[in-house]
Amino acid sequence: MPDSLLVLAPLRIERLALGDPAGSSVLRTGMGPDRARIAAARALAHGAPALAVAGLCAGVDPSLRAGDVLCASELVGEDGARTAVPGSPLLAAALRRRGLRVHVGALASTTRMLGPAERRERAGSALAVDMESAWLAAGAAGRPLAVVRVVADAAGRSLADPRMTIAGPRALRSLRRTSGALAEWAAAVGPRTLLLAGPRSFCAGVERAIDIVELVLAQRGAPVYVRKQIVHNEHVVNDLEARGAVFVDELDAVPDGATVVFSAHGVSPAVRADAASRRLGVIDATCPLVSKVHAEARRFATEGRTIFLIGHEAHEEVEGTRGEAADAICVVEDVEAAARVEADDPERVGYLTQTTLAVDETDEIVARLRERFPALRGPASEDICYATSNRQNAVRAVARESDVVLVAGSESSSNSKRLVEVARREGARAYLVDDETDVDVAWLAGATTVGITAGASAPERIVHRLVAALAALGPVDVEERTQTVESLRFRLPRELTTA
């Protein structure tokens, strides 16, 4: 059996620094483009399913220091032609997990060594330069390709600089540390099937909330203040921040008279009263399904019931709902808590739930409450929203066929974390990832079927990026597995649609 990876290292000192990455063959190619072309032809005949180029380079970008690692996302030839290296995100993440300072960007290959002044002329077109990678990459011939170069001489320095006596050994030590990441990357190479759970990504409430912030920015201009994260996703928040949204934890950070948007998770009556007293221009992006839970809390409180609110104590949605009837509500986080809670009148009790919980776990909690309180009343209709239920059903079906499930979503997203739990209960190894840079290639070794979904607050573009990152490891067969089609849309606030 051939090794899983062929590593091409131009110089003997680079080859020695790399050692022998597990499952790999290391070929010393020689220095410069002519030897690189010969080595590329030899690589074509090698049976390894993946190819890597590894060695030293010279910095162009001033941010690169000696010992920094460049994981090339594209190669720039002497003629200016650019070749994409799509496997960079997963390998860069593996390198960072080893404590290396990693950059991802363009690497230019030249026919001769360039001095500091000549490298400065390349600024903006590449982060670093070498003399082989663009030609060696031809040896991949469609196989997964990785290009890892470690900075030996930083921008502004030459090989004759006395400081190279320190920089050179530092670069070689970093190069040696790349070996394990290359081995992990190679072990993940191979064909696989990708099962895309459907529905996934944005629900109607999230789409409405994001649309509201975008419309307020368009109609009223920046800055627009948003209390808490509009939805629990770092990509969405960063995108809106770049366009002029200012996210604050509390209203005291909002100037008097300014416009403030309430997040999709809802707020308590006390927050609304505070906004009114300060004459803030409020735009309410609370999801209508969360507003429904608030109305139910008020109704149960009016009936004199003790309300068991099933959810996570610190979640913003729970905080807002609890504010509707603080004296009547008792938060119940799990089955153990359900076994301990008490009520002044066991005949006048009710329960409500956070909208983003795992359905099966919530059913267990409700069943325990019913055992203890037979008169327990529930909401008129299910509080766990349709989107949460649909995404859990979809990931459950995909997980049964998958070795690994990747859930796109931020750590702050309750519904995304529940998808991970649901997938694990079906026997799959499941992981929450903000995007492809969070994927550990070690998870993928031996995984021939990977399920992919996204929480209700995660953009669909992250799913596309995950698919592209996995496709860089080998051929993929992408299958959509749609359980149901969602068509629900929520109306925007009247003050925005009439503007």
The amino acid sitting at 310 is I
* Contact predicate 40/199, CB 8 Å: no
Task: Report H helices in 221-311.
Answer: 234-242, 269-277, 288-302
Lookup: tokens for 50? 């993946």
* Contact predicate 80/46, CB 8 Å: no
The amino acid sitting at 379 is P
DSSP character at residue 469: H
* Contact predicate 138/98, CB 8 Å: no
* Contact predicate 234/258, CB 8 Å: no
Q: What is residue 417's three-state secondary structure?
A: helix
Q: What is residue 408's three-state secondary structure?
A: strand
Sheet holding 476-482, edge to edge: 429-433, 404-408, 449-454, 192-198, 476-482
End-to-end distance of the chain based on CA atoms, in angstroms? 68
**From 317, 319, 324, 436, active-site residue:** 317
Q: Is 317 tagged catalytic?
A: yes
Task: Report H helices in 19-111.
Answer: 33-44, 88-96
Burial (CB < 10 A; 0-12, 13-18, 19+), residue 381, is exposed
Show which residues are catalytic. 317
